[in-house]
């Protein structure tokens, strides 16, 4: 068996694990990970495909808990059930005022939604570098209330001040995107209400999901 630690400076609160599961089973999992975690001062984190049932069972036996499920969605127009939207999507690009406002709000929301899983410890600039250079939004200039960072057929990050308004925005954005592309792709973390609202607008979509498991330090 082989367990290695990876450090992620952008999420430094946890130790990321690279695990070779050979030799680890449900019966010895608790002992193996207790021994490995001895002396470590941070929670242990590992992500697996939701399909890896045997390995997931081993992690659960070792005291890991699923803290997040991430869906990778590729949807086509026939999968869409949201109905027709109303309104007009506006766009802003890197360097423009609305874009700058959106990226700041997006970082604040990301910090909030992920604080109980793997808190953000990177810089503002590091987070902003992960965003696309175009944001689609609803709202007046100076107050973008629902928005999504987009690039071609991908919806990268989403934000909404409330679910109802975000849903209205998403309907219009999706209609525009299907006018250009045969499919839409996005990720949806189940810790993010707006991302899951986006996912709820589709059925029968092709999707893959990954589970984040965390084992907190056991207090003796």
pLDDT of residue 220: 43
User: Quick one: which of 65, 72, 44, 21 has its CA closest to 185?
Assistant: 72
pLDDT on residue 28: 96
pLDDT along the chain (220 residues), means of 10: 89 95 95 93 95 97 96 94 90 96 96 94 96 93 90 96 94 96 96 96 85 81
């Amino acid at each position: 068996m082989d367990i290695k630690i990876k450090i992620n400076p952008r999420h430094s609160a946890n130790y990321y694990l690279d695990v070779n599961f050979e030799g680890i089973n449900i019966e010895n999992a608790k002992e193996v990970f207790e021994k490995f975690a001895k002396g470590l001062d941070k929670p242990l984190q590992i992500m697996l495909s939701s399909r890896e049932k045997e390995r997931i069972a081993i992690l659960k036996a070792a005291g890991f808990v699923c803290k997040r499920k991430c869906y990778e969605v590729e949807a086509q127009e026939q999968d869409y059930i949201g109905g027709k939207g109303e309104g007009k999507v506006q766009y802003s690009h890197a360097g423009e005022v609305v874009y700058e406002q959106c990226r700041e709000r997006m970082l604040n929301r990301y910090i909030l939604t992920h604080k109980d899983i793997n808190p953000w410890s990177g810089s503002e600039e590091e987070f902003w570098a992960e965003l696309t250079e175009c944001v689609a939004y609803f709202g007046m200039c100076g107050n973008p209330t629902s928005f999504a960072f987009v690039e071609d057929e991908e919806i990268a990050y989403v934000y909404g001040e409330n679910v109802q308004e975000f849903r209205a925005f998403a309907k219009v954005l999706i209609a525009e995107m299907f006018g250009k592309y045969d499919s839409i792709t996005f990720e949806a973390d189940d810790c993010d209400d707006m991302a899951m609202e986006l996912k709820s607008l589709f059925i029968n979509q092709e999707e893959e999901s990954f589970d984040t498991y965390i084992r907190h330090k056991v207090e003796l």
